[in-house]
Amino acid sequence: MTLRYLTEHEARLALQLPYYLATVPAGFPSPAEDYIDKRLDLNEFLISHPAATFFCRVSGQSMQGIGIFDGDLLIVDRAAERRNGAIVVAAVDGELTCKILDIKAQQLRSANPDYPPITIGDMDLCIEGVVTHSVRTHDRPN
């Protein structure tokens, strides 16, 4: 899996969109509830540390077991704690990759059995940040 660095998060004016109190069932349809609970700014919801956040695009299938797919946009927080089991963006010998940080086994693990773990050892390794969210586009115009 490779990653393409996109940009740093830029502080912008709030963009508040309607946030409906009712959940949307993915099973049988239910009567619509036209009640807006509040306005939601996705910057507040998705970005905890604006000055330490960047975006990158995923390429490859090594993380599909945890729902990160080729083409997804990752929101990465440089200020988030790098704890065991965290999904991280790491520079391994200068190449960016997205993996699961396994501190106990000293490995970067993929979420696809077709991709072996990377043992943390004599390589040049820098954990760039923790993946806090992934964004997937479901409806692409033709």
Q: Which CATH architecture has domain 2-8+52-135?
A: Ribbon (2.10)
- CA–CA dist 33, 88 (Å, integer): 38
**DSSP H helical segments within 1-142, as ranges?**
42-46
The answer to whether 132 touches 87, Cβ cutoff 8 Å, is no
Residues of the chain with CATH 2.10.109.10: 2-8+52-135
Confidence class of residue 46 from pLDDT cuts 50, 70 and 90?
Answer: confident
Active-site amino acid positions: 62, 99
Check residue 10 and give its pLDDT.
61
- What are the pLDDT digits (tens) for 78-128? 999 999 999 999 999 888 999 999 999 999 999 999 999 999 987 889 999
Predicted TM-score (pTM) of the model is 0.74
Structure-token match 């695009």, residue found: 57
Of residues 111 and 47, more confidence is placed in 111
Does the pLDDT at position 27 exceed 70?
no
Q: Which residue bears the tokens 């997205």?
A: 98
CA dist 70 and 1 (Å) reads 8
Average pLDDT across the chain, whole number: 81
In angstroms, the CA 66 to CA 129 distance is: 18
pLDDT band at 47 (very low <50, low <70, confident <90, very high): confident
